[in-house]
């Protein structure tokens, strides 16, 4: 991720990238843009904001972006990479936690999401411009917050933080069964 600071993902011209996710029925996989030319075709989240398996996708640092990041993760892992539903469910939860931390604790305008796959491993990264390090806190039964990194620690095989010249990348990795 080093050297990618300031790189922006191309955006559709008509509306902000996240606007397509707010469909009345809540199903982003069947969203059809209002300004479609030619026959209408269903769009996936990857069509609307970019493909995090190819390049970092930039999302606004707002609570609503966690939903977009979850949908992108589910789409990439289930549909593109044909990973198991359970692994996808865990990865979606962990992405939501990392995005929540980036939105809540960094004061940034945006963050980046990227997914990488290599033989036997899946790696998901959330990049933000803050150099403040996340902290794994002890979790107690009645705690109502502060469980995010605890979940990342328990459900991933590895996780960590890479400091960058301008910010950091928080990441997790999970073992996957390659065919």
* Cα–Cα distance for residue pair 62/87, rounded to 1 Å: 26
Tokens 């609503």, residue? 64
CB 35 within 8 A of CB 14: yes
Instruction: Give 135-168 pLDDT, tens digit per residue.
Output: 787 776 766 666 788 899 999 999 999 999 999 9
Instruction: Give 50-66 pLDDT, tens digit per residue.
Output: 899 999 999 999 999 99
Cα 76–79–84 angle (5° rounding)? 90
Instruction: Give 92-137 pLDDT, tens digit per residue.
Output: 999 999 999 999 888 889 999 999 999 999 999 999 999 988 878 7
* Cα–Cα distance for residue pair 172/130, rounded to 1 Å: 18
Position 19 pLDDT exceeds 80: no
CB 159 within 8 A of CB 171: yes
37, 9, 170, 94 alpha-carbon torsion, rounded to 10°: 0
The model's pTM is 0.72
């Amino acid at each position: 991720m080093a050297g990618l600071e300031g790189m922006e993902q191309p955006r559709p011209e008509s509306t902000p990238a996240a606007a397509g996710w707010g469909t009345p029925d809540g199903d982003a996989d069947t969203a059809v843009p209002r300004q479609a030319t030619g026959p209408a075709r269903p769009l996936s989240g990857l069509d609307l904001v970019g493909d995090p398996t190819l390049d970092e996708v930039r999302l606004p640092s707002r609570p609503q972006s966690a939903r977009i990041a979850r949908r992108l993760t589910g789409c990439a892992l289930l549909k593109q990479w044909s990973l198991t539903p359970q692994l996808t469910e865990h990865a979606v939860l962990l992405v939501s936690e990392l995005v929540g931390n980036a939105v809540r604790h960094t004061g940034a305008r945006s963050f980046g999401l990227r997914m990488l796959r290599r033989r036997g491993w899946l790696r998901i990264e959330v990049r933000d411009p803050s150099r403040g390090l996340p902290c794994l806190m002890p979790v107690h039964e009645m705690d109502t917050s502060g469980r995010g990194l605890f979940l990342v620690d328990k459900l991933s095989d590895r996780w960590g933080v890479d400091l960058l010249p301008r910010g950091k990348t928080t990441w997790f990795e999970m073992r996957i069964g390659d065919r």
